[in-house]
Amino acid sequence: MEDELIRQIWQDTLAILKDTMLHTTYETWVLPLVPHSFDDNCFCTLTGQSLAVQILQKNHKDISKALSQVCNKEVNFKILYDENLHKQLEKEKQKAKKEEQKEFIKNLENRITASKYDGLKQMQSDCKLNLKYKFDNFVVGANNKFAHAVAVAVAKDPGKQYNPLFIYGGSGLGKTHLLQAIGHDILFHKPKLKVKYIKAEEFINDLVNSLAKGMDKAGDKNKKMNEFRNKYRNVDVLLIDDVQLIEGKARTEEEMFNTFEALHNSGKQIVFTSDRSPEKFENTPDRLKTRFQMGLLADIQVPDIETRMAILTKLAEDNNIQMPSCVIEFLASVYNKNVRELEGAFNTISAYTSINEIPITIDNVKKIIRYSEKHKNISVDGIIDIVAGYYNVSVDDIKSTNRSAKTAYARQTAIYLAKELTGESFPYIADCFNRKHTTIMYSHQKVKTDMMIDTKLNSDIKNLIDKINE
C-alpha cells in the first residue's frame, strides 16, 4: 500500500482516537506514533519511546476498532520500537530546547529592557516563584485537565475571566505547581504586571507582626497596617497558596475579605489553592466563602497510572536518567496517592543509584524504597470494610449517623486507622465517612489519647492492623 494512503488512514484514525481516549494517553503515547506499513490487515506503527509498546497494550482493541472504522473492515494493530526513531526524537528534543532558549532570550530582551528588574529570574525570585513550576513541565492528565486549562486561560488574560480562580484538591497533586505556573507565565508575557505569590501562612504571620509592632502607639499601628495592606493590594495578580489555613482566624479572614474586595473591584486577578472546596470551610464567614466561590472552582484528583507513568518518564528525560519501563510501571503502581510522593521516590532512587554506582533495576529499587512483597495499597474503604467485619457492624452503619456505642466505637477506630495507615488528608477521609473533617480530626485524636490507657483498644488496633496487612 502507498505511503501516502497509509498516512491518511492513520490521520483519520487519530481524529477518532482524540475524542475517545484519555488526553494523557493520546498526547503522550499515541500521537507520536509513526505509521509504517499496512499488510495482511495488520496496520503497523513505529515508536521511539520504549514505554509506548507496553503502555498501549491495553489500548490495542480501541485502536484496532478505530482503524477498522476508517478502513471499513477488520484491522489489527501493532507497535514496533525503532531505535533510529528514538535517536531522532532525542535530537528533536535537544533542538526544541535550544529554540526555547533562543526565544527566552529574545523575549527577555524585547520585554524587560525598560523594567527595573535585571532579568526575568530576578522578577521570579522577587515574587518567590520556584523556577521548576511552569506550564511546560506540568504533566496533564484526566485528573487535572480542567484545572490546567483554566489556569492557562487566567495566565493568558489575567483579571478578565475566571476571577477569582479557586483550585482545590488533596496534598501533593500539583496545586502549587499550577499556581506558580500562572505567575511565571504572566511575568514572561506581561512583565509590566506586578505579581505576588504567597502562602496563606505568610499572610497570617505578616498580619500578626503588623499588629504586634504597632501596639505601643496608635499612629504606629495605623502605619504598620497600611504597609501590610499596601503590600497585598498594590499588585495586579495575587496568588495565595493553602488558603484553608486562614479558616477560623477571624481577624485574618477580615483582612483577606477586604484585600479580596480591593483587588477584585479594581479588576485584578486573584487565584487561591486549598486542600478542600470553599463549601467545606465550616468556620469561615459566609461573605468570604461566597467570594471564594464567585469565580470558578477547579478540582485536581489523584492521577491515574498512565499519568503517573508519564510524570516519571518526563522526570527521567529532564534529568537524563535511563529508567527502565518496568521500573517506571512498578513505581507508578506503588506510589498512587499523589505526585509529591512519586517525585520524592524518583529523586531518592536517582540519587542513591548514582552515588552507589548501581543500575536502576526492580530489585535495587525495592531495596531503596524499602518495599516488601507484603506492601500493598490500603484504601479508606478497605479499612472500613475490615473494621466493620471485626466489630460485627455494617459498613452502612459506620458511614451513617447511627450513634449506638458499638457503632461509634467501630467508626472512631476506623477513622484512626484510615488516617494512620493511608496518610490521606482529613477532608478526604471525611468524604469517605460522610462527615465533616473537624469530626474526623476529633475522632482521630480521641482514639490516639484513649490508646494510652485502654489496653483493649490497643489490642484491637494491633489485631486490625494485622488483618489489614494480610
pLDDT digits (tens, 9 = 90+) for 75-97: 999 999 888 888 887 787 777 66
pLDDT above 60 for 63:
yes
Task: Tell me if 120 sits within 8 A of 112, measured CB to CB.
Answer: yes
Domain spans of the chain, in order of start: 3-81, 90-114, 124-300, 305-368, 380-468
Q: Give the full edge-to-edge strand order of the sheet including 34-39.
A: 34-39, 42-47, 76-81
Residue 109 pLDDT level (bands cut at 50, 70, 90): low
Cα separations in angstroms, 353 against 37, 327, 344: 40, 13, 14
Mean pLDDT of 437-459: 87
Which residues are CB-neighbours of 412 under 8 A, at least 6 positions away?
443, 446, 447
| Dihedral sign of CA atoms 126, 128, 132, 135 in order | negative
> Cα separation of 333 and 309, whole Å?
9
Q: How far apart are CA 55 and CA 27, in angstroms?
A: 13
Share of the chain above pLDDT 70, in %: 90
User: Count H helices, E strands: the chain?
Assistant: 22, 8
C-alpha distances in Å from residue 18, one per residue of 48, 67, 96, 107, 307: 20, 13, 24, 33, 16
For residue 261, the surrounding DSSP H or E stretch is: helix 250-265
- Whether the Cβ atoms of residue 139 and residue 24 lie closer than 8 Å to each other: yes
The residue among 184, 189, 190, 194 whose CA lies nearest residue 135 is 184
Rounded CA separation 265/242 (Å): 23
Query: What is the rounded average pLDDT of the residues 42-49?
Result: 90
Q: How confident is the model at residue 427, as a pLDDT? A: 81
- Residue 164, preceding peptide bond in cis (omega within 30° of 0): yes
Task: Tell me which residue of 248, 278, 245, 280 sits closest to 431, measured CA to CA.
Answer: 280
CATH 1.10.357.10 matches 380-468: no
What is the rounded CA–CA span in Å between residue 207 and residue 264? 20
| pLDDT(218) > 60 | no
Find the helix or strand (DSSP H, E) in which 364 lies: helix 362-368
User: Can you tell me the mean pLDDT for 400-421?
Assistant: 90
Q: What angle do CA 175, 176, 182 make, to 5 degrees?
A: 95
Q: How many CA atoms lie within 13 A of 188 on its CB side?
A: 20
Confidence of residue 252 (pLDDT cuts 50, 70, 90): very high
* Grid-cell match 512483597, residue found: 373
Q: Is the pLDDT of residue 116 over 80?
A: no
Residue written as cell 531522532? 88
Kindly report the CATH class assigned to 3-81: alpha beta
Task: Please give the span between the terminal C-alpha atoms of the chain, in angstroms, as a whole number.
Answer: 56
All cell numbers assigned to 262:
480591593
Query: Alpha helices, DSSP H only, in 112-249?
Result: 120-126, 145-156, 175-189, 200-213, 218-233
CA-to-CA distance for 297 and 147, rounded, in angstroms?
Answer: 9
Was domain 305-368 assigned CATH 1.10.8.60?
yes
Beta bridge partners of 47: 81
Domain 124-300, CATH: 3.40.50.300
User: Residue 117: its pLDDT value, please?
Assistant: 46
Task: Provide the 10 A C-beta neighbour count for residue 367.
Answer: 12
Do 135 and 179 form a contact (C-beta atoms < 8 A)?
Answer: no
Give strand pairing partners of 22: none
Count, residues in the chain: 470
Q: For residues 333 and 371, is the Cβ–Cβ distance under 8 A?
A: no
User: Partners of 297 in the beta sheet?
Assistant: 166
What is the enclosing helix (H) or strand (E) of 197?
strand 195-199
pLDDT band with cut points at 50, 70 and 90 for residue 411: very high
**pLDDT for the residue numbered 267:** 93
